[in-house]
Amino acid sequence: MPDYILADAILNMFIPGHFQYSMLMAIIIFWDPSAPEGLAGPVSRRISSITGEETTYCESPVTLNGYVGHRRQYDAALILDTLATYVRRNGINEPILLVVGKDLFINGHDCVFGLARPQSRVGVVSGARLGNEYYNRQREDEDLIDRVARECTHELGHILGLSHCTDHECIMYNPHTLDDLDGKKNEFCQHCRDKLGL
C-alpha cells in the first residue's frame, strides 16, 4: 500500500461575523458498528484529555449512506448530509463526530481520513487507514486509539473554526502520510490554543 494519504478537507467553511472560537460543554462521539470494536471508550477518553472537554460516546444512531460500489468507498460528504439532518431534527447543539471503519473519499480525492462541516457542527472520521495492519505493520490498538483520537480532535478543531496549522506537531496540521500523523503531538499548538481560548 502506498504511504501517501490525503488527510481531510473542510466543507462549507463559513465563519459568521459573530463567531466565537470556543470549546464547549461536551463532545459527542457516534461510534458506527463498522468502527474498531471496543475502542470507543479509550478514544473518547483520549479526546477528552487532549481537549479538556467532557466527551461522551454511543453507538451511532445514523445509518451509513453514500456507498459507491465501483470505488468500494463511502462518500464522506453524503454521510455528513445525513448526520447534519439527524442533528438538526434532534436539536443537538454539541459537536458530533462520527467514527466509521469504512474507507471514505470526497470528490476529487482518492481517500480521506475525515471530513468536517463546521456550519452543521459535524464531522466524520474513518479508521480504515489508521491501523498499522493497513500498512503491513504489526497491529497495535494503542496506535489506532491515538490516531483516531487525533483525527477526531482535528475535525473538532475545524468544527470550532480552526483552519490547518503549519506547526507539524499541532493537531491542526494537515498530515499527508501516516508518519506525518504520528509526528503530531496530542495537543493544539499555542497559536491554535489562543484561538480556541484554551
Please pick, from the candidates 27, 189, 195, 196, the single residue that binds Zn ion as defined by CB under 5 A. Answer: 189
Residue closer to Zn ion (CB basis): 83 or 165: 165
Pairing of strands 96-100, 122-126: parallel
Please pick, from the candidates 35, 172, 181, 196, the single residue that binds Zn ion as defined by CB under 5 A. Answer: 172
Grid coordinates given for 156? 473538532
Inter-residue contact 27 to 51 (CB < 8 Å): yes
> Residues near 35 by Cβ (< 8 Å), separated by ≥ 6?
99, 100, 101, 127
Among 68-76, 97-105, 127-135, 171-179, which window interacts with Zn ion (CB under 5 A)? 171-179
> Residues near 81 by Cβ (< 8 Å), separated by ≥ 6?
none
Say which residue the cell 473519499 belongs to: 105
Residue closer to Zn ion (CB basis): 35 or 192: 192
Among 11-19, 98-106, 125-133, 183-191, which window interacts with Zn ion (CB under 5 A)? 183-191
Find the farthest-apart pair of alpha carbons in the chain and give their distance in angstroms, rounded: 48
Question: Degrees (nearest 5) of the Cα angle 131, 146, 129?
Answer: 25
Please pick, from the candidates 55, 192, 195, 196, the single residue that binds Zn ion as defined by CB under 5 A. Answer: 192
Residue closer to Zn ion (CB basis): 83 or 172: 172
Examine residue 143 and tell whether it contacts Zn ion (CB under 5 A).
no
Q: How far is the CB of 173 from Zn ion (least distance, A)?
A: 7
Q: How far is the CB of 158 from Zn ion (least distance, A)?
A: 6
Please pick, from the candidates 40, 84, 165, 178, the single residue that binds Zn ion as defined by CB under 5 A. Answer: 165
Grid coordinates given for 35? 468502527
Q: What residues act catalytically?
A: 155
Residue closer to Zn ion (CB basis): 145 or 162: 162
Question: Degrees (nearest 5) of the Cα angle 116, 48, 151?
Answer: 35
Say which residue the cell 468507498 belongs to: 73
Please pick, from the candidates 8, 32, 75, 146, the single residue that binds Zn ion as defined by CB under 5 A. Answer: 8
Question: How far is Cα 99 from Cα 120, in angstroms, rounded to an integer?
Answer: 16
Residue closer to Zn ion (CB basis): 15 or 58: 15
Q: How far is the CB of 155 from Zn ion (least distance, A)?
A: 7
Q: Would you tell me which residues interact with Zn ion (CB under 5 A)?
A: 8, 165, 167, 170, 172, 189, 192
